Structure 1
């Protein structure tokens, strides 16, 4: 969305939240935000700075998950456009265990805003129920397959509304992330494949990305999953394990992160025939690199679930492998 707005407006700033927050400046450059703790006051400070610097538009990803904090954040930011990308099970701890419960709590947290845009028909229908029949401030674009594609289309439509400029949907194909598929040699010089899906935290998108990646290395052998876990997202751990054991082509599950004991118990209770084990303690990218180099010949490893904690170390190790390959 920031990239599209930069094509039509002079100064635009974007803000990415999550475990690796970053700012995108008016030149499209991304800068990591260094912080000690996570507080929504961070949003307010950045908005005030942006107003003093004369930005034409700012695109902020919300930080709050709990409904009360979400309402405070949206009310204070007072957006002209509120874009709802998706409400998924990765935040069930704060929003509820069913889609209906999640939407009920989410809608209660929504203040009045000039325009709400979504690609989720369920979200659109539920919000419309709470508004007057002639309320045309809620828009729903036709959803596309997969979160990445739908979010890119959402960005296109929102940028059109905000800037008044038309964008061809085909233009945004370049903004849709593709699976990062890397061929790497293990210590015996034999090759394996690694897919970085650590930023994916919902199984619908993980399914799509894995299917895309499986079409690349036709000669690849066994497929393994690495699920990086978080102890503050127990329901996400369960969701990914439920998804993993239903896939027929998975031959092994590796578990990393800070929620491994729970994950191992849950995997045993599923009585799956897929073997699973925890990674050795990885305290730095060198340890992560040792693991990646230990993969078997022809093995395809799909890393997903969370970028938090160990995920950063795995990604850092993978990036070093990529740089080494490029320098050869």
Structure 2
């Protein structure tokens, strides 16, 4: 009997604690007049940064958070603080961010959603954050084990983040029927952002401090315009936005003896083959590959087996055959090479070294002419170390 009473008392205390926590979260959230959440497969961190920067330049007090290559809290003055995490990140992190926003008395909170499971994204967005504005950047195949293998499955997952009476921004070409159906059911409104929208402003994207996809700029501009921000002011703010650690970057460096001119490209954060293709198209526009050998450095993560299979399928179907060489690093590298079909003009190598300097030395043995080395696949682990290394030895190249 005593054990039953103790168990019942603990359960009652737990229920009371959770109720109080939920009430405090709701109170803190309500104290922030404007809450904006960003979800989607790619570009979430960039769009979050662009929206926050445009609002900040318009005079809003804004707190923003990204969960990209490095999770960052962007304070109202534009300064950044990397978020230290212990163990696996959870959506409970959002509770702390909302509390900070309430304490600072910010007018707007711009958050990149961190969930990839349908149930978690529903709780994070609909129950915890309750955004007034939701941005869905795109629907591409990634996190297949959690979100489903088809584009429709993934769209259904993102649709679960739509709360009641919310304004949802989504690129016209990404608006699958499930989004409209869910929005109508919840009394929310979908705003389609067309590929020609704000064309006169998009032309000035060359002023940005780093490369940015036009679609990301259009989305951020559509949101800020909806909120009453002057378009010129919004663009000026976005031009000042600091890029995410995972943004597309290019460096040049003289390496080897005798020295050769190499380009290093950080495309790790694109993750999937489709997004990586878009990056390569941009680099071709800049004629980066003219007269140089193309080397792909594909970094694998042990906890992203579904992503590894995506790359295997893409390359076995002939994707990226224009590369002269591919080197594979990280988990799954040897197994990946064994399951890969041979290409007529492409050589494959597995590198076991994990130190960036040692990896570069091995690459110089493989290729002693001018080359472009394109990092792909995953930022985690070796990818992040390589980006830091390239930033130290190379000179940033404007793209």
* TM norm structure 2: 0.72
TM-aligned CA deviation for residue 73 of structure 1: 0.5
In the other structure, the counterpart of 1:140 is: 192
Match of 2:353 among 281, 287, 290: 281
> Alignment partner of 2:383: what SS?
helix
TM-aligned CA deviation for residue 318 of structure 1: 0.3
Q: 1:185–1:293: 8 Å Cα contact kept in structure 2?
A: no
TM-aligned CA deviation for residue 91 of structure 1: 1.8
In the other structure, the counterpart of 2:22 is: none
TM-aligned CA deviation for residue 319 of structure 1: 0.8
TM-aligned CA deviation for residue 123 of structure 1: 2.9
CA distance in 2, matches of 1:255, 1:279: 6
In the other structure, the counterpart of 2:281 is: 211
CA distance in 1, matches of 2:296, 2:349: 11
Q: 1:12–1:25: 8 Å Cα contact kept in structure 2?
A: yes
Relative to structure 1, the CA distance from residue 288 to residue 80 in structure 2 (aligned partners, 3 Å threshold; closer, same or farther) is farther
TM-aligned CA deviation for residue 61 of structure 1: 0.3
> Alignment partner of 2:271: what SS?
coil
Deviation string 1:196-233 (CA, Å, 9 cap, x unpaired) is 11221233332232233244446532111111112222
In the other structure, the counterpart of 1:153 is: 218
Correspondence 1:63-78 to 2 at 5 A: 63-74=114-125, 75-78=127-130
Q: Which moved more, 1:230-239 or 1:91-100?
A: 230-239
Match of 2:378 among 302, 306, 309: 306
Deviation string 1:55-103 (CA, Å, 9 cap, x unpaired) is 1111100111001111110020111111111222122121111112222
Relative to structure 1, the CA distance from residue 49 to residue 176 in structure 2 (aligned partners, 3 Å threshold; closer, same or farther) is closer
Match of 2:256 among 162, 171, 187: 187
Q: 2:117–2:157: 8 Å Cα contact kept in structure 1?
A: no
CA distance in 1, matches of 2:172, 2:362: 39
Q: What is the aligned residue count?
A: 321
Q: Which moved more, 1:28-37 or 1:119-128?
A: 119-128
Q: 1:148–1:176: 8 Å Cα contact kept in structure 2?
A: no
CA distance in 1, matches of 2:163, 2:338: 41
Q: Which has the larger Rg? A: 2
> Are 2:230 and 1:166 aligned?
yes
> Alignment partner of 1:46: what SS?
helix
In the other structure, the counterpart of 1:59 is: 110
Correspondence 1:1-328 to 2 at 5 A: 1-37=51-87, 38-74=89-125, 75-108=127-160, 110-132=162-184, 137-143=189-195, 148-162=213-227, 164-168=228-232, 172=238, 179-188=248-257, 189-214=259-284, 215-217=286-288, 219-244=290-315, 245-267=318-340, 270-273=341-344, 274-282=346-354, 284-288=355-359, 290-291=361-362, 295-322=367-394
* TM norm structure 1: 0.86
Gaps of 5+ in 2: 1-50, 197-201, 203-210
